[in-house]
């Protein structure tokens, strides 16, 4: 059975290693974009344009706050 070895940036990157290295970031960006679009659809359909603008304005700050809490930055 093959063990998982960490990828070092000094190694030669082939397409497989490059995809293995970048796929989590790409997936996270796609998930965040879909979440933002769905949230925007619900907010704009059930309330008005002003709350929709407020959600879009505050969302980056909430994401940064969650990131800081998760990784225990002071």
Domain residue ranges of the chain, discontinuous segments joined by +: 16-70
pLDDT of residue 73: 62
Mean pLDDT (whole number) for 37-43: 80
Task: Report helix, strand or coil for 68.
Answer: helix
pLDDT of 71 higher than 80: no
pLDDT of 1 higher than 60: no
| Residue 11 binned pLDDT confidence (cut-offs 50, 70, 90) | low
């Amino acid at each position: 059975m093959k063990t998982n070895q960490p990828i070092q940036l000094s190694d030669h990157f082939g397409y497989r290693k490059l995809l293995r290295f970048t796929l989590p970031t790409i997936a996270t960006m796609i998930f965040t974009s879909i979440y933002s679009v769905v949230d925007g659809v619900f907010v704009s359909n059930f309330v008005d344009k002003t709350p929709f603008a407020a959600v879009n304005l505050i969302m980056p700050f909430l994401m940064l706050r969650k990131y800081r809490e998760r990784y225990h930055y002071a």
